[in-house]
């Protein structure tokens, strides 16, 4: 089970709705391409069928993900512990670098944010979950293990 914020779940549901709306457009493209004749050498037809397969696979994956998500709320979480939706100020112990991180269920991929998104199932996300201010957590990152001190939890 994945834990996400209410906003993340709403964003996932919107993405699913957009994928469902593409079905009609893709079906129309297939019909138009089919009307052009010989299907063996009809690139438009084959491209539209491939798009249909990709869209249907994405729909199935998003439906599976939505079926196993649980919405976490900061309202129910203790204020002195890191939970989904919390923004935390961390100090990397070796380098002394300080950055803001936000624990999320689903990353947006937006790199213009004031914080770095960390998913709950990533090594750092797993280390942060339920950690408290002053605690030092260890995360086995792809670049090697790192230790972070939790300086502050911002809601």
For the segment 4-21, what is each residue's pLDDT rounded down to a tens digit?
778 888 988 999 999 999
Instruction: For residue 81, give every residue at least 6 positions away whose Cβ sits within 8 Å of its Cβ, in sequence order, or none.
Output: 130, 131, 132, 153
Q: What does the mean pLDDT of the chain come to?
A: 88
pLDDT at 101 over 90: yes
Whether pTM > 0.85 for this model: the answer is no
Give alpha helix (H) positions in the chain. 6-35, 43-67, 123-128
Ranking 11-25, 46-60, 102-116, 127-141 by mean pLDDT, the lowest is 102-116
What pLDDT digit, counting tens, does each position of 58-84 carry?
999 999 988 988 887 656 656 778 888
Q: Which domains does the chain have, with CATH numbers?
A: 2-71 (1.10.287.180), 87-154 (3.10.50.30)
CA distances from 154 to 41, 86, 87 (A): 59, 6, 5
């Amino acid at each position: 089970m994945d834990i996400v914020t209410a906003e993340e779940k709403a964003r996932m549901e919107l993405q699913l709705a957009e994928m469902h709306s593409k079905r009609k457009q893709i079906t129309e493209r297939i019909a138009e391409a089919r009307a052009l004749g010989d299907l063996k050498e009809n690139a438009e037809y084959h491209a539209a069928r491939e798009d249909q397969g990709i869209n249907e696979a994405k729909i199935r994956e998003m439906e599976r993900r939505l079926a196993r998500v649980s919405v976490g709320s900061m309202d129910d979480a203790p204020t002195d512990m890191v939970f989904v939706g919390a923004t935390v100020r961390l100090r990397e112990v070796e380098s002394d670098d300080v950055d803001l991180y936000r624990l999320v269920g689903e990353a947006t991929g937006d790199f213009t944010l004031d914080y770095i998104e960390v998913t709950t199932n990533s090594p750092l996300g797993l280390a942060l979950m339920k950690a408290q201010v002053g605690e030092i957590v260890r995360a086995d990152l792809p670049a090697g293990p790192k230790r972070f001190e939790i300086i502050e939890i911002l809601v």
